[in-house]
Structure 1
């Protein structure tokens, strides 16, 4: 098992990012788990500019499969007085696999102070709860999960999750690594196993540099529409105190 921390520590630095290799325990099928790819891209993006403000938005395109040796590179698109836009790509032998745009933005004084978000109604699992961890040869082996099945709607996933090996990890990189850990919500509509693949992922960070307790984050994904081989879903992420820290959308291809 290679942790995300070990993967970043062993990466070979380049002028624009780093080179690494996707371990088998971070794969989902023939490609890297999307949260890992996004976390690696963010790690490279944060090397481009010194003293970046907090991450506030990420636009992720899962262009193609990523496996084996990869090159992660980042480029500053623009840095203004308050915000910085940085693009990060990951390329493997098969070509471009991931393209991201990260937006880092400082907090500004504003007369607007509105929060219409709903707090999570569920507490993190107790210390003696029976947790699920996936097999070591699959990316879910890097996480602990606790499902809230009794409280979910038919097209919704609701699950507590945490990265097992997270000590010393950049909190924003940890957030990206965990944010895509749920199966696509359209999966709950299937009567039989059907292949799916995430296409795009838009994430907005509501709380600058969010942290949580004991690594636990509450993850939600719910399908709004699924037809003609394409699904659109909304996604949310709360900290252990019930505060909404991130929300977004994802487009998913359905092959069957």
Structure 2
């Protein structure tokens, strides 16, 4: 496990990306402290792709949706590329990829859309009853000692969790300065272990396959960096799990809904 003092903040990693001339292509490196086993942490890979997408076009509207496919492992030197698929009056579609020595690692499609006049206002459900972390609460820095990327996150577990197929955790990036709010949220959104591991009761090799995040409000923000994350497995069989995920801010406002498919090797 990498010591926090020698870890690379996400903003520093993004700032070190070098653009390839005038092309929509950037070169950089993923340090060991952002690894998850033999590949980069999925939230980091998606954040790299979103960062590149936002450099591609001036004055993009807010991010509304991210579709992420984790195609192969990423480690060490990487290339990030972005392509404008379409920009209309209200929305823009941007594709972005992250590749490494082993080939394509992550392929993303981002949808950016400006707010439109309300034709409908509807919300279902409320945030779980979990008070934001207090100064006296025990904050855990990192998770499993063999999962390096967790050293970049801080967690607080709310009491009274009785669903054996779900995680509910307060989480925040330990180093948040200098980040676009959408990039910060995307980096954080995938930081919980797959919920199916709670059902197993033991550790097992896992790998995210696909992930979709829908942002419910522009310019996501919260207090003290804390976001409430929930991940719940709906179905797990034949080595594959489908889980629903959600994010709320510290005031209980719904920020994102997500769905993810996870492979379980064990």
- Give the TM interval when normalised to the shorter protein: over 0.9
Say whether the 8 Å CA contact 1:25–1:136 is kept in structure 2. Answer: no
Alignment counterpart, residue 56 of structure 1, candidates 64, 71, 79: 64
Say whether the 8 Å CA contact 2:247–2:256 is kept in structure 1. Answer: yes
Report SS of the residue matched to 1:192.
coil
- TM-score of the superposed pair, with normalisation by structure 2: 0.93
Residues of 2 paired with 1:235 and 1:228: CA distance?
Answer: 21
Residues of 2 paired with 1:195 and 1:206: CA distance?
Answer: 32
Cα RMSD, aligned residues only: 1.3
Report deviation, 1:191: 4.0
Alignment counterpart, residue 93 of structure 1, candidates 95, 101, 113: 101
The answer to whether 1:171 aligns with 2:181 is yes
Structure 1: runs of 5+ lacking an equivalent: none
Residues of 2 paired with 1:38 and 1:46: CA distance?
Answer: 12
Residues of 1 paired with 2:117 and 2:264: CA distance?
Answer: 44
In structure 2, the residue matched to 1:230 is 240
In structure 2, the residue matched to 1:83 is 91
Deviations 1:14-39 (A, max 9, x none): 22131110011100100000000010
The answer to whether 1:7 aligns with 2:17 is no
Deviations 1:9-68 (A, max 9, x none): 111112213111001110010000000001010000001111000000000000000000
Alignment counterpart, residue 242 of structure 1, candidates 241, 246, 252: 252
Deviations 1:61-114 (A, max 9, x none): 000000000000000001111010000000000000000000000011132122
Q: Aligned ranges for residues 191-230 of structure 1 at < 5 Å? A: 191-230=201-240
Report deviation, 1:209: 1.4
- TM-score of the superposed pair, with normalisation by structure 1: 0.97
Report deviation, 1:136: 9.5
Structure 2: runs of 5+ lacking an equivalent: 1-6
